Structure 1
């Protein structure tokens, strides 16, 4: 099981952040803006298991070939949701927030140019908004380095920290290729997204996905989510949004694919994601072999020196 986050329909409402904190009793981590955007959390951390990023870009809006980018066709999506977007969700929210939400409104003439997304006609800025979370890697380096068994893989394929077993060694922090895992300053233990393991065990979806009003965060079996995501990319490409791409969906990538993957509208680096993530413990087997050979060589040399001295 896992997450598919479609950033093209994220409106930056932070409902996922609030739901995550409320359900998991995650401490408050700052209510002040960072001084450069509406991002008040900055990055994932021990007290931020969901982080909604706001990325401002100086580029035109709303010029995707006279097409409409509809809401994703997930199992819980409704015709009404799609109608709202087609009718100008981006324009309405653009007037309120001064930004683009990803919707594209067609012009009055078939085949003609699209109308600007914002109500007052501004096209000088776009915001990319994305709700980030632990990736729940298939090949998770944090599991490899944990000495206490605090980190474990659940029956749902997710990676969870047992805080009562964590000894605060911090080995998993640098092992994570995404910089997700973090320690709390008061006790040193690590905390991160559990994909609401307690909710999954009773047949409920994670709190963030439940709270997302635009279905930007979708939860379900990974195979189904990957198929749905591929269809969504085709839909956006057909609407002229050629920069749409998937991130973390490939089982053959450096971490074996992730349990939380994303549809992005720009390069991964723009969102703060590594372009080619690699499990940080991939070289451990070779390192142990080299260490064993070196130790054997030292032992042989020592024995030879001892034998020579005896003679």
Structure 2
């Protein structure tokens, strides 16, 4: 197994240029998603989906008190992507093996194996995976698996002009991210925090994690993601126990009915 690779996205230096979105689409031949203008935002892609594997979110918010320009709206920008979870529920529910974990510990969908069942869509705690119309197959970020096999960094990281998207061995990225948070805190940016970096979180840590400048919900991220299939083993045990109980009850009922018929038969023969 190769060293685990990942993304560290430092939102504090994202400028919202969307170069990562374009590079991702060009390299992976991802179709356009309509280029819809939304009157509420400058963001024309809206969210991650089957045709948007990298999405730069534009989040408007009031400036914190004390900052220059009090009362004016400020911007948070963040390039979102599949998290490549350590414990990936999408892998648990895929019936065909279309989803698999690579030697780099990333999670990839094989489109030619996907049967379009859609089980992976609700299984994802981040709402990343989606199905593409009209054939219904699922698609998402592969962390440019083909480029990694060739010793190249993913297209989005290569195209990022500010190094907001950093790619490399996951352990090194985590150490670098901790140093960055410490540096920002020393500069007075105490709101800086890491999201998805801890192996002790609900999904065992993410292969793509983030430095945020506000609560996760502000960026449209779940505050406490969990493996959605975590209760499946217990549910299967309950189901098996219920099935055994039902089978036992049916058997006892059948035996009771048979015994009753036997007694009736002996009584009528007297």
1:34 corresponds to? 38
Structure-2 separation of matches of 1:23 and 1:62: 43
* Equivalent residue, structure 1, for 2:116: 168
Q: TM-score, normalised by structure 2?
A: 0.92
Q: Which residue of 2 aligns with 1:55?
A: 59
SS at match of 1:54: strand
The structural deviation recorded for 1:271 is 0.3
1:299 is matched with which residue? 247
Structure 2: where are the runs of 5+ without partners? 260-270
Give the TM-score, by structure 1 length: 0.80
Aligned to 1:8: 12
> Which residue in 2 is equivalent to 1:20?
24
- In terms of Rg, which structure is larger? 2
* Distance change >3 Å, CA 19–CA 286, structure 1 → 2: same
Match of 1:84 in 2: none
- Once the two structures are superposed, what CA deviation does each residue of 1:6-33 show, in whole Å capped at 9, x if it has no partner? 0000000000000000000000112232
Q: CA deviation at 1:124?
A: 1.6
Q: Which position in structure 2 is the counterpart of 1:266?
A: 214
Give CA-to-partner distance per residue, 1:239-287, whole Å, 9 cap, x none. 0000000000010111000000000000000000000000000000000
Q: How many residues align?
A: 255
Q: Following the alignment from structure 2 to structure 1, what is the Cα–Cα distance between the partners of residues 70 and 87?
A: 45
Q: Distance in 1 between matches of 2:31 and 2:65?
A: 37
Find the residue that maps to 1:53 and give its secondary structure.
strand
Between the aligned partners of 1:284 and 1:269, the Cα distance in structure 2 is 27
Is it true that 1:133 corresponds to 2:81 in the alignment?
yes
CA 219–62 in structure 1, closer or farther in 2 if over 3 Å, else same: farther
Structure 1 residue ranges, 4+ long, deviating more than 6 angstroms after superposition = none
- In the alignment, which residue of structure 1 is the partner of 2:93? 145
Unaligned stretches of 5+ residues in structure 1: 64-115
Q: State how far apart, in whole Å, the 1-side matches of 2:36 and 2:247 are.
A: 60
More strand by share: 2
Provide the alpha-carbon RMSD of the alignment.
1.3
Q: Secondary structure at the match of 2:60?
A: strand
Distance in 2, Cα, partners of 1:62 & 1:202 = 49
